[in-house]
Amino acid sequence: MSLCRKGMPHEARTLLYRMLEKGFPINKVSYTLILDAYLKMNELDEALFLWTEMKERGIYPDAVAFTALIDGFSKADD
């Protein structure tokens, strides 16, 4: 969460992968935080990749994730 707040979603994602490798449980909150950070930085391709990866790992988005995605894409044209 702290890395995302500081505008460092790439580092947060690297940490997420390291946690997965070590067998730590990862939930949709972790993905949603990173997704939101990518969207706030207008990195739409990274956000979409993460969205797809999240579903491929069996972690399905909830209303919060959908709201972040919609909000991020609606602000992308600004």
pLDDT for res 15: 95
CB 46 within 8 A of CB 78: no
CA 11 remoteness from chain centre: 12
Model pLDDT for residues 4-45, shown as the tens digit of each residue: 999 999 999 999 999 999 999 999 999 999 999 999 999 999
pLDDT for res 41: 93
DSSP structure string for 34-67: HHHHHHHTT-HHHHHHHHHHHHHTT----HHHHH
pTM of the model: 0.89
| Phi then psi dihedrals of residue 6, to 5 deg | -85, 5
* For residue 78, pLDDT beyond 80: no
**Single-letter amino acid code for the residue at 27:** N
Going by pLDDT thresholds of 50, 70 and 90, the confidence category of residue 76 is confident
Unique residue bearing structure tokens 């969207």: 39
